[in-house]
Amino acid sequence: MATCLVTGGAGFIGSHLVEALLARGDRVRVLDDFSTGRRENLKELEGRIELVVGDCADPATAQKATAGVDWVFHEAAIPSVPRSVKDPIGSDRANCAGTVTMLEFARRAGVKRFVYAASSSAYGDTPTLPKEESMKPQPLSPYAVQKLAGEHYCRVYFDTHGLETVALRYFNVFGPRQDPTSEYAAVVPKFVGAAVRGEPVTVFGDGLQSRDFTPVRDAVQANLLAAESDRATGEVINVARGERITLVELVDRIGELVGRPVEVRRAPPRSGDVRHSLADITRARELLGFRPSPSLAEPLAEVVELFRSGRG
């Protein structure tokens, strides 16, 4: 049994990770300031977790949260390219200052391993596909720069202080509890919510941009494996399914699941958005023993059913 800290544990990926750790019998502490996380994501876990309410970038909070912890899963972030363009300073505090503060106090607390939620946005819009971890990063947005800086901080803390770190580059994670109401909501819940209500979806650009969509269960699996794999320390590892579809194809699949075509409205392309994204997951398979979901069908259907039941 390990004592685990999940920063951003009231958020989308974080709350799923908290559930998985509890199911394994681990002790779990959650650090969240509820700026993007939601208390209802933890409602059914009350009494089974320790909750620290505060900001990851605050030293006193970070010190309290890391005390006595074996593993840190650093999920806390403001995961939005558009928001980082609109508010780079606020985004930087959450995504960059928050990461280095947690690393420093994890080091001081003697944490055994620090698993960091990195981002595929670090690759930018390089034409080479699939994206492989040794490629030169070319971030296009403040968010991408901030998440890439976190990777470098992880490596420095591993090389300089011996703190075991693993950076997981997520590719377009989706699933239950992803907020569809935010101005900066991810595409899957926004599309599914609109489709279930019989409303049109907004596609920025021509809709032929492609993404490697990753079910949240796969992201959770990668985190659990990263915490224990002896071969993963100090590494940056892609987390995805290793397949891509266009946004037009995604809309069609959602239409099939809801039982009717979904109307598409076009909008101008957004600044900082990547054209194509596809992961090489060889390193995840070899270093972690990672096995992605066999298809998008079941995870997408799960999201559609949640929205139909009013629990999306």
Question: pLDDT value at position 237?
Answer: 98
| Domain contains 68 | yes
Question: pLDDT value at position 219?
Answer: 98
Question: pLDDT value at position 125?
Answer: 86
Question: pLDDT value at position 184?
Answer: 59
Residues 227 and 268 placed together within one structural domain of the fold: no
Residues 14 and 86 placed together within one structural domain of the fold: yes
Of 312, 140, 135, which Cα lies nearest the Cα of 236? Answer: 135
Collapse the DSSP code of 92 into the 3-class scheme (helix H, G, I; strand E, B; otherwise coil) and give the result: helix
Question: pLDDT value at position 185?
Answer: 67
Question: pLDDT value at position 183?
Answer: 61
Question: pLDDT value at position 251?
Answer: 96
143 φψ region: left (φ > 0), alpha (ψ -120 to 50), beta (else): alpha
| Domain contains 179 | no
| Domain contains 152 | yes
Q: Who contacts 149 (Cβ-Cβ below 8 Å, separation ≥6)?
A: 96, 99
Residues 117 and 163 placed together within one structural domain of the fold: yes
Which residues on adjacent β-strands are paired with residue 239? 170
Whole-prediction pTM value? 0.94
Report the first-to-last Cα separation within the chain, whole angstroms: 32
For residues 78 and 32, the answer to whether their CB atoms sit within 8 Å is no
DSSP code, position 32: E
Q: Give 170's Cβ-side CA count (13 Å radius).
A: 24
Residues 95 and 201 placed together within one structural domain of the fold: no
Of 63, 155, 75, which Cα lies nearest the Cα of 109? Answer: 63
Mean pLDDT by 10 residues, the chain (312 residues): 96 97 98 94 94 98 98 95 92 96 98 97 92 95 96 98 98 91 78 94 93 97 97 98 96 95 92 87 98 95 90 66
| Residue 32 lies in domain | 3-174+214-242+278-293
User: Could you tell me the CA-to-CA distances from 172 to 18, 28, 63 in Å, in that order?
Assistant: 20, 26, 31
Residues 160 and 30 placed together within one structural domain of the fold: yes
Split into its structural domains, the chain has a count of 2
Residues 163 and 102 placed together within one structural domain of the fold: yes
Residues 14 and 37 placed together within one structural domain of the fold: yes
155 φψ region: left (φ > 0), alpha (ψ -120 to 50), beta (else): alpha
